[in-house]
Amino acid sequence: MITYEVKGHKDTRSGFGEALLELAASDERVVGLCADLTGSLKMGDFAAEYPHRFFQAGIAEANMMGVAAGMASAGKIPFAATFANFGSGRVYDQIRQSIAYSRNNVKICVSHAGLTLGEDGATHQMLEDLGMMKMLPNMCVINPCDFNQTKQATHAIAQYEGPVYLRFGRPKMPVFIPEDMPFKIGKAITLKHGKDVTIIATGHLVWPAMEAAKELHNKGVDAEVINMHTIKPLDTDAVIHSVRKTGCVVTAEEHMLNGGMGESIATLLSNRMPAPLEMVGVADTFGESGKPQELMEKYGLTHQNVANAALKVVQRKT
């Protein structure tokens, strides 16, 4: 088992920007679109190096999604990027009809997802996008956990044929996934083996899940940690296999509990192998302004919350 350690802090969006630049060099079909957030999405280098393959859509996301769909229909691989808020809810019908239903090879790449957007507050803190996107037939939904994994995911979705929603974030976060770690869409990664409880985490909650496992170890609880980077298609085998061993589950995500990854896992287990389950996520409320870490604490998304949920769920095992 690899021991994971933090090698500095970087933002996941920069992983996207770096990978996009690499992809552009290797595949001429790759084009980029952005709705007046090129700097925030780290697409500046791509735009400068490939001006004829970069399209500034202005503050008009609905049109951007449609243009991306049209380009995909002609054989391009468009990466349409903006904030999570503007790349999901604002343009749901455009994504639904022109991208998902029409099965166009568009990569919707969104940054500033969740509470860690921080000071801008609830208007921009998208916490419902995973739910909206996972409900769409044909849509693949991915939420990587650090800079390196975002890079790997960006490369992987370019190879994948079909619509994808790739979600990442704003602040610098621990980098702990090895650069050369294989990334396969729909294939969860077991970061730590354990026998007492399964912790399934996605996105910015994966590192806190690892920290929680350390703390649980000190309390005599042996936790297994699964990095569920792909929300859809869900790696059901990984969940069943682990929970069969541990007998209980904690899910953790920077997303609304309604409609999130935890809900998908709860549904899976209810259908196939009922087991005690605790969910860490945002409980049916909007966010607010604050520093990312302050918000994660206030809304219950820290490693401590994950550890407490694990201790609780272990108690519920019969």
Please report, as ranges, the residues that interact with another protein according to CB under 8 A. 31, 52-53, 55, 57-58, 60, 62-76, 78, 93-94, 96-98, 101-104
Q: Is 67 in contact with 58 (CB distance < 8 Å)?
A: no
Which of 52/182 has CB closer to another protein? 52
| Tokens, residue 95 | 């994504």
Minimum CB separation of residue 61 from another protein in Å reads: 8
| Tokens, residue 177 | 């996934």
Minimum CB separation of residue 59 from another protein in Å reads: 9
Which of 93/119 has CB closer to another protein? 93
Which of 61/278 has CB closer to another protein? 61
Which of 80/248 has CB closer to another protein? 80
Q: Could you tell me which residues come within 8 angstroms of residue 124 by beta carbon, excluding any fewer than 6 positions away?
A: 83, 85, 112, 117
Minimum CB separation of residue 161 from another protein in Å reads: 12
Minimum CB separation of residue 69 from another protein in Å reads: 5
Active-site annotation holder among 18, 61, 253, 263: 61
Determine whether 288 is an active site residue: no
Catalytic residue set: 61
